[in-house]
Structure 1
Amino acid sequence: MHVCPACGTSNGPGDDFCGNCGAYLGWSDTPPAPDRRPEPAPAPAPPPAEKPAPAGGGAGPGAEPGREEGTGPPPRTGPGLDRTEPPAPAPPPAPGATTPAPVVPVRPAKPVAPRPVVRPAAVPDEAAGTPCHACGTPNPPGRRFCRRCAAALNPAAEPASPPWWRTVWPPRRRARAGSGRAVRFLVTLAAVAAVCVGALLLLPAGRTAFEDARDKMGEPRPVTPVGIEASAEVPRHPAVNTTDGVSNRYWGAPAPGASVTYTFREPFRLVDLIIINGASKSPEDYARQARALRVDLEVTEQDGTRHREELALGDRPGPQTFPLGISDVKTVRLVLRSAVDLTEDRHLALAEVEFFRRG
């Protein structure tokens, strides 16, 4: 039986640690000694009184022969046999002798009950209960600490670990021990690298979207080229007729594949391109000549970069608008393709071409 020296709780003989406070029980192996008080000494008995010897060394009158004073059986008493005499007075002490102290009567001591000793109740060594999560030793119900290793049997629930990003940002936050600082650093580095790569890949698309938004916010303004050069043209229908602002005059090309190139004074952002197909925008004069139903567009920027697109034209009179959104435009080249109603006495007609910049 072990009694905890710290809290006094009874523990089993095989327990090494207290079940209430977890203190080590190795210091309480020796059982406490019972409380013993010294018993009171008995009072000393008074010494027997001495009778003076009779003169002449013989027995006194009435003394039985063969019996000395103070020896032998007591005198017999009874009817007709009462021979006791009163004791003779003690002789005076001799000169120089010590007088003995008188005997004082002593009251008998009162009996005192011993202090009760608390004996701890026996606890079985083997108890059924929840085993310790650290050493697996079964412990009786009600214990707070294991009797073998002093581990807490009902540990308080630990707080949930914060997410890894809470230990990274802000930088001054103190990270918990063993929280995987290297892993968090690698994950953060990979995330930053992915953002950078994505920005590089998506930068052209993002820039295009930004520029398109600016194009729609402003009012487009017309731009007039300073130079016009055609690869082929029929008499009385030069390529300059496409920029004169009059829709009843057109550029005549003898066959498909003919091209016209427009040069501008300074680079600009080409927002819209308007083309009027056929000989005129009026329905009566539109079908007098052949028309091109497809135009190959080639735009050259100031640094030499080229953009090629294929524009599909409708076989109808009137302007047809094509939004482009190309920056730093220096020249524009149009090639006529897919002719319709082209005969020996007819040629391809293109009435008007208009360029618009950002306002």
Structure 2
Amino acid sequence: MIVCEACGTAANPQDRFCGVCGEYLNWEEDTDSAPEATAGAIVPQRGPNAEAPVRPVPGDPARPAGPQPDAAVPTQPTVPPLGPDPAAQPQQTGPNQTLEDAAIPAQPAPAPTGIACPSCGIDNDPSRHFCRSCGTALRQTAPPAKESWWRRWRRRRKEHAAGFRRKPRRKFHIRRFVLVSLIVSAVLLLIVFLPALPVSHPWLENLRDRVSEAKPVSPSTISASSEATSAEFAFDGISNEYWAPDLAGEGVGEWIQADFTEPVRLVYLIVSPGVARDQEAFLAQSRPEEIELRMFTEDGGAVTETFTLSDSAEPQTIELGVSDVTAVRLTILGAYGHEEGKAVAIGELEYFIRG
């Protein structure tokens, strides 16, 4: 058995290359098995009737030199075998087997076929990685599939090991440049001309709200269900002046309404609850918790939505996105910290429309 000097794997004596690492094995020829020839030895040629020469024995004068008659060679007695003679035993035959068939020795089963070497064609054991005759790799891996250009373009820059040489940059691709230029131009044109398009669709209107600049709008008429303080204080832009309904009730069901001179596209509403942004003054009165917005449209219909406000003195934004609005009524459905003698106050209401 031969042991590979590179990886230490045992190999068969007839293998010329290691099956694991492909290292050449037969660097040194086996000279121990070859018989050594004796220098100057002469081998006499003998015919069929020639007699073997008899050499004189040194120190024995009674034995003359020359040919001697054949002496009787004592023979050892033959010991008969203990067991029965296998040749004398009759051969057992099957029910469908003749004596001639029984005399034919059984043929060994064919050895399983291994991996054929792609270079020299010799069969190799399936566990080998290199050919035992020529050292060629037996398992050829297919090259990886080429990725599409957009996957290579998206892939981040990789860090390479020391000694790695980068490939030269590819040539300029005019088709890729034209495609990217068309996409960028289409997006810019859509942003610029989208507000002026006559097409109307809910998702298209919402997109227009995002790309257009919203501007505040002042109502032409302000009204309320009751007034402990004036309803106009909710639209004066001063944070420490507020609208509060009649103190006799709990404030639930009270409303304040703003009318506009012409139909508008309402984008969002900013609500400042409470009497002021100062925390101590804010907690001194009740604050609206749940409100209902009913937006009357130009065609005589109405869009109603309900919102829950957080108990905070900071302004809170409510997304609307309703077109052709002529009036908005805000109704109080619940309040934070309501007690007898406290007013449910709203400090400021700011409506924004699409510019």
Q: Same fold (TM over 0.5)?
A: no
TM bucket (normalised to shorter chain) is 0.3 to 0.5
Relative to the length of structure 2, the TM-score reads 0.42
